[in-house]
Amino acid sequence: MLGEVLYSAPGPLKSPTNIDFKSPVVGAPVLFFVSGSGWSNYKDQLLNVKVDLDGKHCTTMQVFTNEATSHVSFVCSIDLVTLDFGPHTLTLHPSDNMVTDSNDSFAVTMVY
């Protein structure tokens, strides 16, 4: 197996964040690992980042935060897809109730 970091950056995460990449495989299974952190101005919030692959929903990473203004790490989201060779786009959509800043970070890794 090989892995490729497609995205690794500090916040803030803009909405949406497009990640363009080229698939090196033809019709083979690919795993995407998506991780990150964020916070909310309000207590008792479900925060999430929806992930689209080529415009279609792929997976969602989410976490519930009990306290306001406290940075929380998302549970890493893993999704298995089959890709065609060539260009693709992953898009990250943070929820409206989520805030990110330079204290947060995000990463997307492709394993094939």
Domain ranges of the chain: 3-111
User: Using a CB cutoff of 8 Å and minimum separation of 24, what contacts does 62-68 make?
Assistant: 65/39, 65/40, 67/43, 68/39, 68/40, 68/41, 68/42, 68/43
**Cβ atoms < 10 Å from Cβ of 83:** 21
Q: Which residue's structure tokens are 């952190």?
A: 37
Residue 96: band (very low, low, confident or very high) from pLDDT cuts 50, 70, 90: very high
Least confident of 27-31, 89-93, 99-103: 27-31
- Looking at the domain covering 3-111, what would its CATH class be? mainly beta
pLDDT one-digit tens code per residue, 37-74: 999 999 999 999 999 999 999 999 999 999 999 999 99
Average pLDDT value for residue range 87-98: 97
